[in-house]
Chain A
Amino acid sequence: MKESTGQRRKERLDRGIKVRSEGLYALMSWRELSYLFFPRLVLIGGILILPLVVPSMYWQRVISIVCIYALLALSFDFLAHYVGLVSLGGAFFIGTGGYLAAILNTSFGLPPLLTIPIATLLGAFICTLLLFPCLPLRGVYFAIVTLMYPLLLARVIEALDILGGTDGILGIESFANRWVEQYFIILIVLFFLFGTRRLVNQDIGLVFRAVKDNDQSVRASGISITYYKTIAVFISSAIGCLAGAYLVHLYMWAGLSTFALDFSILPIAATVIGGAGTLVGPVLGAFILVPISELLRAFGTLRIVFYALILLAFIIFRSEGIMVYGQRKYHQFEKWIKV
């Protein structure tokens, strides 16, 4: 953007309406109010209406899967860009939550309404406990350790032949009907999307970001970084485990494939494409990537090649992502000026 244009550079100015609508003043004019609410309402309305407008049952199922990936992407984005812990362990959360829900449902006979919350909390507790020793690790080390956990758990289940071994756990109860199935997960996604957005703007979010930017200075202020990292991991793994618990009830089956690398890699791709650090971006990214991957299903494994290449292209040429780009266009004027 810079060097190719020679003597010109792009000047960016905030739109007046953005500045005006930041303060309390926004409440006094419909124009400013709608400037604030329009994008949010489009998003909420769009997601809520989606199950009604898609053509077939098949695509309704795709929406549920999109939501699962959206939750994972959200949990990844929250942990990576607000707390600085890059976790490649989406599959770890999915697998733990999934297997817990499956056990609770088949062995204890609890209905989905109970298994999902219990699996979420218990799963988040287990994940946090297992990740707790790794919390001091930084950057690439934490990434590798979280990438290895799901692979290890899958191999352990395979080797010990517990929890149904390679066949998995069958006969899990499904949801009452497909509308419950759809809107349950959609509302969950919206709840966590706006919940985490609110969370990171609270005081605790400030500490989270401080831990990400400079953990030593947080420590010097007498704040325990391990405590805050633990909380963040708990929140993030709760979101992931919830997605996993929902997944096994959706498929009525829990197996080793819940630990598959797909659940670790696709959410990250969604985050990169949607815009890292925006929380909305990853959700949008999932809504773009997963349907594309479904459309390409006819090409067999070539679709994995396609999405790997899309991911590569985005990470190299457009690493800011769609959402950051969109926000810039929405909030700012751009014009070329002579230097």
Chain B
Amino acid sequence: MQILIYGTINSVALALFALGFALVYGVSRLPNFAHGALYVLGGFITWTFVNSLGLNYLVSIILALVANGIIGALIYQFVLIRIRGMEISEIIASYAMGLAILEGLRWGGFKGMTYMLPAFIEGSTEIAGVPVDYQRLLVVGIGAAVVTILWLFTHYTRVGLALRGVAQDERAAMMLGIDSDRMALAAMGFGSMLAAMAAIVLLPLGSIVVEAGYNVLILAIAVCIVGGLGSWMGAVLAAFIIGFAQILTVVYLGAHYQMVVALSAIIITLILRPSGLFGRQKELEERV
């Protein structure tokens, strides 16, 4: 039972990490290696709004989401747009960007255990004899809400449909009058908003540390690769697979193995089935 509950919570957390990455990659084929940095940045922006400016928690959350979205969009508009299509340059440039953000934050004095976001609701309850605090339940709730909203957004709004159009076939979408650069910009903005969302929901469970940025990036990549790069629902399913696998190894083997699971999932998936479990990529594009 414990495995079931904490496995679900862990899986939803992974899905939250990965959705932003999956959105950006799906729309613009841009592996956004700055994703982990944007996650940490979102957390710190919220912290700054709450503690330095003394704003209401809810107001600062909304402001932080918007701010992070704008930062993501700016990164795309001024940096990544110039190297679209050159895969390796994209990886290197976005990774360098993430490195600059993370190490800049570290230099700015954001390190150690002193930076914490308050939980939305304090306290805890018991489900089937397993103690669970409200914040963790809230993670599951918000995670489900985000996935639902994203699904509705991409199926019933003009912008969402345009995003899916570009993701499926960029040229055809351009012929229908969709500006693919603008859509990639929007995707990057929404992607970093999702990263900030994940940070705001998950960070109250611990403290904000810069190192988390690197781990979040690896986890996001793991989920997206296993689910199939570019497949959004695949990412959600893969989050559950990896999430439960992680919790099982933690229970039966030890906490050290948590990242080993994610990393070996990436390598094994890429070797056996590079398009992922649910990806529908053209086979020839990724292997010879």
Contacts and interface: CB of A to CB of B under 8 A. Distances in A.
Contacts of B271: 133-134, 145
A315 B89 CA distance: 7
Interface string A246-263: 000000000000000100
Interface string A164-206: 0000000000000000000000000000000000000000000
A86 interface: yes
Contacts of A133: 271
Contact of A140 (B79, B91, B96): B91
Contacts, number: 120
Contacts of B263: 148, 151-152, 155
Contacts of B270: 134, 137, 141, 144-145
Interface in B28-69: 31
Contacts of B93: 311-312, 315-316
A163 interface: no
Contacts of A32: none
Contacts of B149: none
Given A86-B88, A144-B270, A148-B266, A136 B287 contact: yes
A301 B286 contact: no
A300 interface: yes
B287 A301 contact: no
Given A141-B287, A268-B92, A301 B103 contact: yes
A238 to B, nearest CB: 22
Interface residues of B, number: 39
Contacts of A305: 99-100, 103-104, 107
B98 to A, nearest CB: 8
Interface in B84-111: 87-89, 91-93, 95-97, 99-100, 103-104, 106-107
Interface stretch (B180-188, B189-197, B252-260): B252-260
Contacts of A225: 288
Interface residues of A, number: 44
B202 interface: no
A138 interface: yes
A73 to B, nearest CB: 13
Q: State the main secondary structure of chain A at its contact with B.
A: helix
Contacts of B31: 140, 144
B91 A152 contact: no
B95 to A, nearest CB: 7
A44 interface: no
A261 B99 CA distance: 11
Q: State the main secondary structure of chain B at its contact with A.
A: helix
Contact of B286 (A138, A299, A315): A138
A261 B217 CA distance: 13
B103 A304 contact: yes
A223 interface: no
Nearest to B285: A138
Interface string A219-236: 100000100000000000
Contacts of B95: 265
Nearest to B111: A301
B165 interface: no
A308 B256 contact: no
A152 B260 contact: yes
B127 interface: no
A302 B103 contact: yes
Contacts of B286: 137-139, 141
A308 B100 contact: yes
A216 B287 CA distance: 11
Given A137-B270, A268-B92, A301-B106, A312 B264 contact: no
A143 interface: yes
A316 B79 contact: yes
A156 B260 contact: yes
Nearest to B269: A145
Contacts of A102: none
A158 interface: yes
Interface string B238-271: 0000000000000000101101100110110011
A159 interface: yes
A140 B267 contact: no
Contacts of B257: 155, 159
A148 B92 CA distance: 15
A257 B122 CA distance: 39
Contacts of B254: 159
B83 interface: yes
A144 B164 CA distance: 25
Given A134-B271, A148-B263, A315-B92, A159 B97 contact: no
Contacts of B23: none
Given A138-B285, A305-B99, A312-B97, 12 more contacts: A136-B287, A138-B287, A139-B87, A141-B287, A145-B267, A148-B221, A155-B257, A265-B96, A304-B103, A309-B96, A311-B92, A312-B96
Interface of A: 80, 86, 88, 133-134, 136-141, 143-145, 148-149, 151-152, 155-156, 158-159, 215-216, 219, 225, 261, 265, 268-269, 272, 299-302, 304-305, 308-309, 311-312, 315-316, 319
24 contacts: A137-B274, A137-B287, A138-B287, A138-B288, A139-B87, A140-B88, A144-B266, A145-B267, A148-B267, A152-B264, A156-B260, A159-B256, A261-B214, A268-B92, A301-B107, A302-B103, A304-B103, A305-B100, A308-B97, A308-B103, A311-B93, A315-B96, A316-B79, A316-B83
9 nearest A-B pairs in the assembled complex, by CB-CB distance: A159-B256, A152-B263, A308-B100, A304-B103, A136-B287, A308-B96, A308-B99, A133-B271, A302-B107
